[in-house]
Chain A
Amino acid sequence: DTGVSQNPRHKITKRGQNVTFRCDPISEHNRLYWYRQTLGQGPEFLTYFQNEAQLEKSRLLSDRFSAERPKGSFSTLEIQRTEQGDSAMYLCASSLYSGALQETQYFGPGTRLLVL
């Protein structure tokens, strides 16, 4: 499968627990994005990486959220001390940035998080 993959696809956790999600981008893509999508809304930007460098974080990303892309390939998104408001679909996308025109972002299937 040459598309973006995410694991797990579903996660149910209790409030206060930590969770970690993984995203594997399309292999040649150098940019990786995390979005959050709640019911009835479009994806909201959280953060993005170019290779292993995290270049921007949204104000939506509180201190409880951390993302890494240690080798410039897969990425992890960790949420500490989860809250019910964290319940959402977490989408990962990747793209090939060449510095010229805007590149297309390709989305993964998402990880649906439910915090009880």
Chain B
Amino acid sequence: GENVEQHPSTLSVQEGDSAVIKCTYSDSASNYFPWYKQELGKRPQLIIDIRSNVGEKKDQRIAVTLNKTAKHFSLHITETQPEDSAVYFCAASKAGGYQKVTFGIGTKLQVIP
């Protein structure tokens, strides 16, 4: 089955700096990669996703890149703000009758004011 590895497990950055979280996946058939943000005690919320037919996607301060050959994808947050502090999960899934989503272990991001 699919295996998603995520690092780092914790990340501290100064407000205004950039944060990068990296993930790798094992199943070359995976072709959908969502990123979720989970604040303490709250539900995971989708912040951005990317499909395998594109290499990069941006949404304001958030961008995701995908390298299908290397089977890794990354989340980039620029101009970080204290409200970006949360746990971020990457995930991978593939098209087909059952679209099981496999999550990474999560990265706890702390933005220091």
Nearest-CB distance from A113 to chain B (Å)? 14
Task: Tell me the B21-38 residues at the A interface (CB within 8 Å).
Answer: 31-32, 34, 36
| CA–CA, A97 and B6, complex, Å | 27
Other-chain contact of A104, B49, B89, B100, B102 (Cβ < 8 Å)? B49
Q: How far is the CA of A56 from the CA of B46 in the complex (A)?
A: 23
Q: Do A91 and B43 have beta carbons less than 8 Å apart?
A: yes
Which candidate, B12-20, B60-68, B74-82, B91-99, is the interface stretch facing chain A? Answer: B91-99
Q: Chain A interface secondary structure, helix, strand, loop or mixed?
A: loop
Q: A42-50, A68-76, A77-85: which one contacts chain B?
A: A42-50
Indicate if the CB atoms of B106 and A41 lie closer than 8 Å.
yes
Chain A, interface residues (CB within 8 Å), range: 20 to 34
When A41-B105, A42-B106, A43-B89 are in contact, do A102 and B99 touch as well, CB less than 8 Å? yes
Neighbouring A residues of B104 by C-beta, 8 Å: 42
Please state if A101 and B32 are interface contacts (CB–CB under 8 Å): yes
B101 at the binding interface (Cβ < 8 Å): yes
Hey, which chain B residues are within 8 Å of A40, CB to CB?
105-106
* Contact of A110 (CB < 8 Å), options: B43, B49, B100: B43
Known: A40-B106, A101-B51, A101-B95. A45 touches B101 (CB 8 A): yes
User: Is B73 an interface residue, CB under 8 A from the partner?
Assistant: no
B105 near A42 (CB under 8 angstroms)? yes
Complex Cα–Cα for A64 and B30 (A): 31
Structural contact, B99 and A45, CB atoms closer than 8 A? no
Separation of A91 and B103 alpha carbons in the complex (Å): 13
9 A–B pairs (Cβ distance < 8 Å), ordered by A? A40-B106, A41-B105, A42-B103, A42-B105, A43-B89, A48-B98, A91-B44, A101-B51, A110-B43
Interface residues of B (CB under 8 A from A): 4, 6, 31-32, 34, 36, 42-46, 49, 51, 89, 91, 93-95, 98-106
